[in-house]
Chain A
Amino acid sequence: NAGVTQTPKFQVLKTGQSMTLQCAQDMNHNSMYWYRQDPGMGLRLIYYSASEGTTDKGEVPNGYNVSRLNKREFSLRLESAAPSQTSVYFCASSETVTNEKLFFGSGTQLSVL
């Protein structure tokens, strides 16, 4: 039972480089989310996808793009990484957008130098 799988677990980028964080869930959930977690800031929503084919901005979307590739997969792209994007990124899913029980992936530690 994999649940929510994120890759990679760790990544170091130079300023200006791009990368994509991958997320997949095997629970047949409709809704998926990307959060970032910074010390002293708590979890903040970057983007979410209420259902396949839809995406919406969260609290801190600037500098990111997302793709809901299919019902299972939701990717997060940094087009031109900045040091301010150094953070731990979590993907999460839920049955529906109004179902508040989130299942989280194990996280990606991203450092931008």
Chain B
Amino acid sequence: QKEVEQNSGPLSVPEGAIASLNCTYSDRVSQSFFWYRQYSGKSPELIMSIYSNGDKEDGRFTAQLNKASQYVSLLIRDSQPSDSATYLCAVNGGSGAGSYQLTFGKGTKLSVIP
């Protein structure tokens, strides 16, 4: 059973600060990594994907992947109150049947304080 672990939070940061969200995964041969954002009472939406080691930047968001440490993170620069949401880490690929199916972490709740 693949596992994806996240701190549930809440993670509170002041407006304008960098928010750092972390995720670890159990299946060493996982290949694809994603961050979904879910506002309270809404459905998840994909905000970042990363497939190879290193950093990937998109606007204020940076995804970081370290496959050797089985670790993926999301940095949000210049955090805004509108970034307040739950962030879900998702992983797929790897070994076993249905390896292409996404396994989601339980999510980290981020609160950006004005």
Considering the chains assembled together, what is the distance between the CA atoms of A40 and B104 in angstroms?
12
Interface majority SS (helix, strand, loop, mixed), chain A: loop
Binds B, one of A20-28, A41-49, A70-78, A79-87: A41-49
Q: Given B46, B98, B105, B106, which contacts A102 in the complex, CB threshold below 8 Å? A: B46
Complex interface: chain A residues within 8 A of B45 (CB): 104
Considering the chains assembled together, what is the distance between the CA atoms of A51 and B107 in angstroms?
29
Complex interface: chain B residues within 8 A of A56 (CB): 98
What distance in Å separates the Cβ of B49 from its nearest Cβ neighbour in chain A?
Answer: 7
Considering the chains assembled together, what is the distance between the CA atoms of A102 and B92 in angstroms?
12
B43 in contact with A90 (CB, 8 Å): yes
A-B pairs under 8 A by CB, number: 44
A–B complex contacts, Cβ < 8 Å, 22 sampled: A40-B106, A42-B88, A42-B104, A42-B106, A42-B107, A43-B44, A43-B104, A45-B101, A58-B101, A90-B44, A97-B100, A100-B32, A100-B34, A100-B49, A100-B100, A102-B36, A102-B44, A102-B46, A102-B102, A104-B44, A106-B43, A107-B43
Question: Hey, which bits of chain B sit against chain A, CB under 8 A?
Answer: 4, 8, 32, 34, 36, 42-46, 49, 88, 90, 92, 98, 100-102, 104-107
Question: Hey, which bits of chain A sit against chain B, CB under 8 A?
Answer: 40-45, 48, 56, 58, 90, 97-98, 100-102, 104-107
